[in-house]
Every structure is written in structure tokens, then in C-alpha cells.
Structure 1
Amino acid sequence: MAATDPKLLKVDNSDKGEFVRAKSVFRDWITADGSSGFPSEAGRYHLYVSLACPWAHRTLIVRKLKGLEDVISCDVVDLVLDGEGWSFSDKSPNCTLDTVNGCSRLREVYRIANPDYDGRITVPVLWDKQKKTVVNNESSEILRMLNSEFNAFCSTEDQRELDYYPEHLRTDIDAVNEWIYPMINNGVYRSGFATSQEAYDVAVRDVFQGLDKIEDILSKSRYLTGKSLTEADIRLFTTLIRFDVVYVGHFKCNKKRIVDYPNMWGYLRDLYQVPGVADTVNFEHITKHYMGSHTMINPTRIVSIGPDIDFTTPHGREAMQERND
């Protein structure tokens, strides 16, 4: 899924106050053999992302781990949404101008691809510089393209061999993704954007039932599907790393914190400490975006001071790896 632009386009809710996420629209694929019409090439493709967005964060992690930073360029939208949506600026820390199309707004990029486009303006966006169009704006599909279709361009042989969606684990990965997405990844948004007590109660119950299920899995296994880090872990990580920082307070997911789950807290630190992953995490963007953009939740736009969390302490999950071997 992709991150919505709630301030500009308003959050869609059902008659019962339930948050309804719009589906991604651009769904073409880049393939190594070029059979899709979008062949994988170094320097041809570009990512538009927000460092605050968990969906965009997925793609940045795989781009980093696969050694594709010099292969696929990237621009970062501004931290906070204003009345016109996602914008480009080099005045905020770690944000950029649009270096490919020279646009001031992400909506302008979408309209280069389709002048009649009037749908959601979301990140991430995978852009084809040659055809001047959006290839895909569905994060789960972009993640898989980066995982498998650019192996010829990875920086090292080890990175080329990394596979976060290995064939022998695909059934297991798909199975956990199927319930983690609605219960946890999107569940925090369903809780935070609910406009009725009934909708919130249902959503937040799903979140913590899902987290309890994760805790149980991690009590027996280092990763979600065994002893190997997969896309399922990456997809979950981008929600967990934001949970105690913004979702507990901002989205009212305050029954428990991740630090209150012994296995999940160690697992989160384990993933954070994978070389390269911490480089993709920007807590300033995360906190300022959520608390400064969602004025329907936080009309004063005051950004909270904490919590203080150290993700670099020893995690002890190596012992779990030994049990899985």
C-alpha cells in the first residue's frame, strides 16, 4: 500500500467512521529481461519518498541492503504536508528538490504521467526517467522489484545474492503478510484515523491482537518465517520502529508499547542493527510529519518531546538463531 495525503485529500472514512485506504493506481513492473516494457537499467529509475512514511521506508531499506543507491536515484519530499499536499524543498533537513522533473509538488509529477490524474497523491513513487511516467506506486510491489530485478547492478556479489522473497519461503511470507497488513501495518492508521468510538475500538483491538500474535511467533523464531530475514520482517519493521515514537500517543495505540513485549523489543533492535537499516530511519521526519500534518488529530501541531529509546543496545536474538538452526 501507499501513504495517503490526508490533509490535502482528506481521510476517507465509512459511514461508521472506519478509515478506508485507497488502492494504488500505477501497477506496472520493471523486469530484468525487459519483457514488461520496463527493463531494469542503472540510472533509468527514480524513487520519490517521504522519510516519515512507513510504506516508502520499505523501499528505502531494500534499496540500501541490495546496494542500489547509485543505481536508483531518490528525492525526499518535505517533512510536513501543507494545504497543497506533498511538496519539494531543500530548506528542511534531509529533504530535496525534485531533481528529475523540477516540480514543486508531487501532484505535478503524477500529472506528467497522466494529465487527467485526480486520484490520491501517494509515496513511494517509482519513476521512469526515460518514458517520463510513473511505473508503480504500490510499495509492496516496488519492494519486490528492488529485491529481484536489479541484481545485475548490485554493488557486491553478496548483495546480489540477497533474496528477501525466496521461493521456498513465499507461502509462509505471503501468509504472515496477509494478516500483518490489515491488523498492524494499516491497523495503526485505522485506529488513528477512526472518527467513531466503535471504529476505533475494532481497529485498536486488531492492532494488539496482531502484536500479541507476533510476540508469540518471535518467542520461537528469530524472524517471522524462521531463521532468515525476509520482506515480511522489513514490512513489519517500518511499523514497529514508529510505534512507540508516534503510534502510541498520536494514533491512540497505547494499550502496550513495543518495549513492553520482550521478544518483539529484542527483534526490533535486531532489525535496526542490521548494517544499513539504521541509515534509513529518520525520527525527526517521523515525529514532525505525523504530529505536524494530521491536523484533524493534532490541531495545534505541537510535536511531543519523547520517548527516549535506545535501539542500539544488545538484542540477544542470536540465541534464538541457534535454536532455529
Structure 2
Amino acid sequence: MTEESSSTGAYVGKGKEFTRDTRYIDTRITADGRDGYPVEPGRYRLIVARACPWANRAIIVRRLLGLEDVLSMGVCGPTHDQRSWTFDLDPGGVDPVLKIPRLQEAFLARFPDYPRGITVPAIVDIPTGQVVTNDYPQITLDLSTEWKQYHREGAPDLYPTELRAEIDEVAELVFRDVNNGVYRCGFAGKQEAYEAAYDRLFARLDWLTERLATQRFLVGDTITEADVRLFTTLVRFDPVYHGHFKCNRTKLTEMHVLWDYARDLFQTPGFGDTIDFAQIKEHYYVVHTDVNPTQIVPKGPCLANWLEPHGRELLGGRPFGDGTPPHPPKPSEVVPVEHWALG
């Protein structure tokens, strides 16, 4: 179950607009351990699903900052039932570190009567097997700030102090109208709600187009948290949101500034190498049965064009600032090439 679904597994409330439940476990893992969970190498496990855009943010940030050897990662499969994301990609369907078949078990270990969705990303305390947090916006910010002692040499500053107010402002607009906006289109239960969400989505994409026409990145001249948050929606736009969620005014490939911007990030180490288009498509088209009752996964679109030149370097900017690109992904975390270069 994700934050979009109800206890019955339905995603669309007939006659209603979609409203996301944003009540997450707000416990934080911090350098000073003020919530009882200090930053410690090897103590925690980041649980993700490559299909999920919210989890994809954490995968990218962890890669960019070089935290792979400090914070291990468990990967759920692309589909789930009404109860929970599951570890069906692992041998025996059990996470090799937490020794559980379902993420739900980590939530119930801490909160036996946990009433809300079992969501990714989540961070689990390995010694106790208990979930610490699933507050996805805060998770990535804390990886940038609270885990700084363990960043790789040359790690970028994704949340620079002097730009935080602007990053927060842009990120909030992007969340409201784009990240969550595509869901407000796709899960709308009445025509008026769908059309209002549709209009806000494309108005914001037009605003982003204007902003990015003259600057390479969203805030400042380097990659920041704001770019990570926009990218994970853009990369899913044509394979899923354009058709499945009826966000069909224009494809991403027809919005040339945003298409070039998205390809620029996709071709940057730490971004495209986290993307599994096959799992993304399987998740949306199989799990959302009230949107797609047949569960047929579309064969298209062709996605090999993500590797075409983008020309954004002509706008200047320094993707990693004074830092360097991340190392290649760990062999165990490499996405099969046939899953992201779909012809």
C-alpha cells in the first residue's frame, strides 16, 4: 500500500478530488541524535522501490553524496498488495538484512497499530527492526545536512545554506502542482477536479519552462535538492503520467526546454543510472487497477532517446559545483541496461 491508496486498495474516490495523506513518521536521524536515533554508519537501512518517484529521490541523493557504504539499501519489487511493499526481488522474497518479507513488519514492530499507508522511502533501524521514518521530504534533506560527516570526498552541496529559502519555495510549488499534481489528475474522481489539476499542472510546467530557458538548473548554477525533486516526476512523464494519468496536453518530448533539462540530468551520474523504466511502468499500470482494470502494461513509448545530446551545457552551470561526479553504482545496485534504455 502506498500513500495514494485506501484500506480497500482503491485509488480513485468517485465524485471526489484526490487528497494526499501527508502525515508521515516525523522522527529524524540526526548528528546529535536528539530524537533517539543518531547518525551511525551501518546502523540503518534505506528501503526503496525504484518504481516510486518519492523513493527515487532518496536513491539519487544517496548516490550523489556517496553514502552507499554508510547507509545500506533494500529494494522492494515494483508491485505491492493492499498491505505493503514486499521484497519479492530478493531470494526467498526476504530482505537479506532485515530478514522480513514485507516492509509492513518494520512499521508494526514500532507501531503495532500503525493506521496509515506503508510507504517508501523508509529508513529502518537494523538492530531493532523498527521503522524510524518515512518522511520522504525530510529524509533527503537530512542526508544532505545531518549525514555530512560521511559524505564522499567531492560530494555536491545539494542544500546550500544561502539558497535554502529559494530551494524550499521552488520545491513547494513543484510538489503542489507537478509532483502531486500528476496524481491529482490521475486519481481525480470527478471531471471538475481533474480539469483543475490538469490546468495547474501545465501552468506550472510552462512556468518551469520559462525559468529553465535561461538557466541550467532550478536554483543557482549547480544541481540542488530542487532538481532532484522535479526530475523524478519528469522522468516518469511520458512512460506513465501522459497516458495513465491523462496528463496529455503535451508529452515531455514536446516541451523542448524541459525535455533537454531532463535529459541533462538523466545523463548526469547519479540520476539516470537509478532509473528502471521497466519497473516504473509495471508499478503504475499493474497496481492502479481502478485506473487500469486490465493491468496491461503499454509496450511504448521508445525511451532510447534519453541518451540523445541535450545541449544544456551551453547555458553554463557546474553540475557538481566544486565537487565531482559520484563513482559508478555498486555492482549489486546496477539497473539492468535493458530496463532503462528501452527501444
Give the TM-score normalised by the residue count of structure 1.
0.91
Partner of 1:267: 261
Q: Any conservation in 1 of the 2:8–2:82 contact (CA below 8 Å)?
A: no
Q: Any conservation in 2 of the 1:50–1:56 contact (CA below 8 Å)?
A: yes
Amino acid at match of 1:294: H
Per-residue CA deviations over 1:16-62 (Å, capped at 9, x if unaligned) read: 51011112331111112333422111101111111110000000000
Q: Give the 3-state SS of the residue equivalent to 1:63 in structure 2.
A: helix
1:314 and 2:309 aligned: yes
Q: 1:9, 1:64 → 2: CA distance?
A: 35
Q: Any conservation in 1 of the 2:5–2:117 contact (CA below 8 Å)?
A: no
Moved more, 189-198 or 113-122: 113-122
Q: 2:111, 2:204 → 1: CA distance?
A: 38
1:157 and 2:156 aligned: no
Q: Give the 3-state SS of the residue equivalent to 1:47 in structure 2.
A: strand
**92, 101, 106: which one pairs with 1:104?**
101
How far did residue 5 of structure 1 move? 5.5
Q: Do the aligned partners of residues 132 and 322 (structure 1) sit closer, same or farther apart at CA in structure 2, a change above 3 Å counting?
A: closer
Q: 1:110, 1:199 → 2: CA distance?
A: 33
Partner of 2:5: 6
What is the Cα-based RMSD across aligned positions, in Å? 2.3
1:190 and 2:184 aligned: yes
1:249 and 2:243 aligned: yes
Amino acid at match of 2:20: R
Q: Give the 3-state SS of the residue equivalent to 2:211 in structure 1.
A: helix
Per-residue CA deviations over 1:171-201 (Å, capped at 9, x if unaligned) read: 1111111211110000000000011111111
Partner of 2:75: 76
Partner of 1:58: 57
Q: Do the aligned partners of residues 138 and 322 (structure 1) sit closer, same or farther apart at CA in structure 2, a change above 3 Å counting?
A: closer
Amino acid at match of 1:111: L
Amino acid at match of 2:266: Y
Q: Any conservation in 2 of the 1:77–1:96 contact (CA below 8 Å)?
A: no
Amino acid at match of 1:136: T
1:121 and 2:121 aligned: no
Q: Do the aligned partners of residues 63 and 322 (structure 1) sit closer, same or farther apart at CA in structure 2, a change above 3 Å counting?
A: closer
Q: 1:179, 1:111 → 2: CA distance?
A: 34
Partner of 1:38: 37
How far did residue 264 of structure 1 move? 0.8
Q: 1:115, 1:36 → 2: CA distance?
A: 20
Amino acid at match of 1:19: F
Moved more, 193-202 or 36-45: 36-45
Partner of 1:305: 299
Q: Any conservation in 2 of the 1:7–1:294 contact (CA below 8 Å)?
A: no
Amino acid at match of 2:145: S
Within a 5 Å distance, the mapping from 1:176-187 to structure 2 comes to: 176-187=170-181
Runs of 4+ in 1 over 3 A off after TM superposition: 7-16
**232, 239, 264: which one pairs with 2:233?**
239
**157, 164, 168: which one pairs with 2:162?**
168
Moved more, 119-128 or 287-296: 119-128
Partner of 1:142: 139
Identity of aligned residues (%): 43
How far did residue 213 of structure 1 move? 0.5
Partner of 2:202: 208
How far did residue 15 of structure 1 move? 7.7
**210, 218, 239: which one pairs with 1:224?**
218
1:87 and 2:83 aligned: no
Q: Do the aligned partners of residues 108 and 202 (structure 1) sit closer, same or farther apart at CA in structure 2, a change above 3 Å counting?
A: same
Q: Any conservation in 2 of the 1:272–1:278 contact (CA below 8 Å)?
A: yes
How far did residue 308 of structure 1 move? 0.7
Q: Any conservation in 2 of the 1:7–1:82 contact (CA below 8 Å)?
A: no
Q: 1:119, 1:7 → 2: CA distance?
A: 9
Within a 5 Å distance, the mapping from 1:276-315 to structure 2 comes to: 276-309=270-303, 310-315=305-310
Q: 1:11, 1:127 → 2: CA distance?
A: 27
Q: Do the aligned partners of residues 12 and 258 (structure 1) sit closer, same or farther apart at CA in structure 2, a change above 3 Å counting?
A: closer
Q: 1:37, 1:307 → 2: CA distance?
A: 47
Q: Any conservation in 2 of the 1:7–1:81 contact (CA below 8 Å)?
A: no
How far did residue 279 of structure 1 move? 1.7
Give the TM-score normalised by the residue count of structure 2.
0.87
Q: 2:47, 2:55 → 1: CA distance?
A: 8
How far did residue 252 of structure 1 move? 0.4
Moved more, 123-132 or 229-238: 123-132
Task: Name structure 2 gaps, 5 residues minimum.
Answer: 322-343
